[in-house]
Chain A
Amino acid sequence: MRVTTNTAVAERRVRSAPAPATGDRKGKRGRPTQWAALGFLTPLAAYLAIFYAYPLVRNIDLSVHDYNARAFVLGNAKFVGFDNYAAIFSSPAFGPAVRNTVVFTFGSIAAQYLIGLVLAVFFRNNFRLSGVLRALFLVPWLLPLIVSGSTWSWMLNSDNGIVNSVLRAFGIGEINWLTSPDWALTSVLVANIWLGIPFNLVILYSGLQNIPGDLYEAAALDGANAWQQFRRVTVPMLRPVSAITLLLGLVYTLKVVDVIWIMTTGGPGNVSTTLAVWSYREAFGTGQPDFSPAAAIGNLLIVIALVFGFLYLHLQRRQERS
């Protein structure tokens, strides 16, 4: 999972005066500034056009043509309109892919959020080593996914994996984590939850930092115990941050390919294939690339991400206003 988006990275640093961001020289000589601004923005505009817009346009183009591997190189594919989309919706892989995407996405963000929240509340206590330990929690998030994915694969390995070995010690029989249809999705889910905890921890922790301490003092004076303080102060005050954490998690988890691909390649069969993995497999995962359906699935994913993206923007605006 990746972190991105705007704002307050380091507003705290370097702020000699609370100067308004723009409009310093409104009215006077607006024209040269306008040209300068254009100059400074041109590289970005060109970059976005060439490296974002163009690949996306190519994707749409791919999704409405019938590109096989040969047509792909020659560029003479037949126009088929929405046939690729129709084929996807009627494919037997569609239902399972949607179900797996829903389970994987919601399962991941729910668990990451809950664990992240518990840890954030725990680390809010200032105890010895709390800073160092909190920094250590970031490690899984910084590791390359291939590293985490292969480590989890080895830990979950059915014969010699440490997980099964521990389970055996408790008298639980061997589980074929990665190769059994009943467990493959759970396995990638567990690995992905582990990967997402740092992100949730850090964001929720900084959300907690912004809750004024006197609210807790007041609650304590009114005789609220720790649980009541959590329920009546922390949870409501943290709501905006929580909403954004969950939404970002959702958008990022929707597009996860690497972890699943590395651990199970979406299998066995289709049991751990999400929409993103399905798209990757159609395009790059088999010997015979099928770019057109892959692009169609990808575009479907964009639409889903956009819906949640707009929701995110809406929430953020509402938060800014309040």
Chain B
Amino acid sequence: MTRQRAWWKTALGIVLAALMLFPVYWMVNVSLTKTENMRADPPHWYPKDPTLQGYANVFSDQFPALGTSLFVGLGCVVLTLVISAPAGFALAKLRVRGKGTLNFVLLVAQMIPSVVMAIGFYAIYVRLGWLNTVWGLVVADSTIAVPFGVLVFTTFMSGIAGELLQAAKIDGAGTWRTFTSIVLPISRNAILTVSLFAFLWAWSDFIFASTLDRNGDMVPVTLGIYRYIGNNTTEWNSIMATAAVASVPAAILLIVAQRYVAGGVTAGAVKD
């Protein structure tokens, strides 16, 4: 009886997941469709007579853009960790005046619409000559992840036993030493969570890319796809192939770091 019920639920779960993931399936399906079959009416539900032409086009047209995105994503991870890990440590373990205010500022920082940040950055970058540079984009993208990173590190590091730090101190370790050789290694999970989100957000960013790096030599893949759509309304297989390739990091990260993803999503909204 219970067995049967469970099977019924599994079946329903699969149907729901299939519905939810249909657009993803459709993206892959279209990416494998031949250009002449693209206008088929009704559309083919599966890649009938599949072609890899779309993917070949991705690698000839969008390869540099994928590299740029990778670079921006990794740069963003490094910058976010460098800024947020020490700050999280200070907020969690060192006595800081104005801690409440800082936490409040971090919360507010996350509510500022990115279009507002983009306008502000544009105004500054115009003067500095940072428009259309990869560095400028790394910095702008990091503003999405830094406040999140500080809050994640603060929470995580608050959970580290005080005795451990005390012991290090007795052994003669300074605060910096304690931080680098004790706190950071213990905080591996927090580092992974923050890196994961910093990378994914930078990788998927569209607003900053489309405003601060729209005419550069090195544009990220999100902008590459956007331009592709603009120039190229007929070759949807190439567009969808690029989209599929651009989704690969998300897919890999989901498989490799599933529990950090769930942890990150829950971060903040729920307290236990």
B162 within 8 A of A: yes
Apart from A6-B106, A33-B94, A262-B206: 15 A-B pairs, beta carbons within 8 A: A21-B158, A34-B95, A39-B175, A62-B119, A135-B254, A138-B262, A144-B247, A151-B23, A154-B239, A244-B269, A251-B111, A255-B112, A279-B115, A279-B116, A294-B115
The proximity string for A residues 5-49 relative to B, scoring 1 for CB distances below 8 Å and 0 otherwise, is 111111101111101111111100010111011011101100110
B216 within 8 A of A: no
Q: How far is the CB of A63 from chain B (nearest CB, A)?
A: 9
CB-contact partner of A284 in B90, B146, B210, under 8 A: B210
User: How far is it, in angstroms, between the C-alpha of A37 and the C-alpha of B91 when the chains are bound?
Assistant: 8
A interface, how many residues as a size bin? 35 or more
B14 within 8 A of A: yes
- The answer to whether B258 and A135 have CB atoms under 8 Å apart is yes
B contact patch SS: helix
Chain B residues at the A interface, C-beta cutoff of 8 Å: 6-7, 9-10, 12-14, 16-17, 20-21, 23-24, 26-27, 30, 38-43, 82-84, 86-87, 89-97, 102-124, 126-127, 139-140, 142-144, 146-148, 150-152, 154-156, 158-166, 175-176, 179, 186-187, 189-190, 193, 197, 200-201, 203-204, 206-207, 210-211, 214, 221-222, 225-226, 229, 236, 239-240, 243-244, 246-247, 250-251, 253-254, 258, 261-272
Provide the residues of chain B in CB contact with A13, threshold 8 Å.
Answer: 156, 159, 189
CB-contact partner of B267 in A6, A56, A279, A312, under 8 A: A6
Provide the residues of chain B in CB contact with A25, threshold 8 Å.
Answer: 166
Residue of A nearest to B203 (CB): A144
Looking at A13, A62, A75, A140, which has the most chain B CB atoms within 10 Å of its CB? A13
- The answer to whether B40 and A160 have CB atoms under 8 Å apart is yes
CB-contact partner of A140 in B24, B26, B211, B222, under 8 A: B24
Provide the residues of chain A in CB contact with B151, threshold 8 Å.
Answer: 4-7
Q: How far is the CB of A22 from chain B (nearest CB, A)?
A: 6
Provide the residues of chain A in CB contact with B140, threshold 8 Å.
Answer: 51
A130 within 8 A of B: yes
A306 within 8 A of B: yes
Provide the residues of chain B in CB contact with A94, threshold 8 Å.
Answer: none
- Given A52-B109, A255-B113, A8 and B120 contact (CB-CB distance below 8 Å): no
- Given A7-B155, A51-B139, A305-B112, A150 and B246 contact (CB-CB distance below 8 Å): no
- The answer to whether A150 and B225 have CB atoms under 8 Å apart is yes
Residue of A nearest to B154 (CB): A6
- Given A150-B239, A155-B23, A302-B112, A198 and B265 contact (CB-CB distance below 8 Å): yes
Provide the residues of chain B in CB contact with A169, threshold 8 Å.
Answer: 42
Q: How far is the CB of A318 from chain B (nearest CB, A)?
A: 12
Provide the residues of chain A in CB contact with B229, threshold 8 Å.
Answer: 150, 153, 262
A172 within 8 A of B: no
- The answer to whether A133 and B271 have CB atoms under 8 Å apart is no
Provide the residues of chain B in CB contact with A178, threshold 8 Å.
Answer: none
- The answer to whether B10 and A146 have CB atoms under 8 Å apart is no
Provide the residues of chain B in CB contact with A257, threshold 8 Å.
Answer: 113-115, 207
Provide the residues of chain A in CB contact with B123, threshold 8 Å.
Answer: 55, 58-59, 62, 72, 291
A207 within 8 A of B: yes
A221 within 8 A of B: no
CB-contact partner of B247 in A73, A130, A143, A159, under 8 A: A143
A148 within 8 A of B: yes
- Given A8-B266, A142-B254, A301 and B113 contact (CB-CB distance below 8 Å): yes
8 A Cβ contacts from A239-258 to B = 241, 244-245, 248, 251, 254-255, 257-258
User: How far is it, in angstroms, between the C-alpha of A122 and the C-alpha of B164 when the chains are bound?
Assistant: 42
Provide the residues of chain B in CB contact with A54, threshold 8 Å.
Answer: 120, 124
8 A Cβ contacts from A286-305 to B = 291, 294-295, 298-299, 301-302, 305
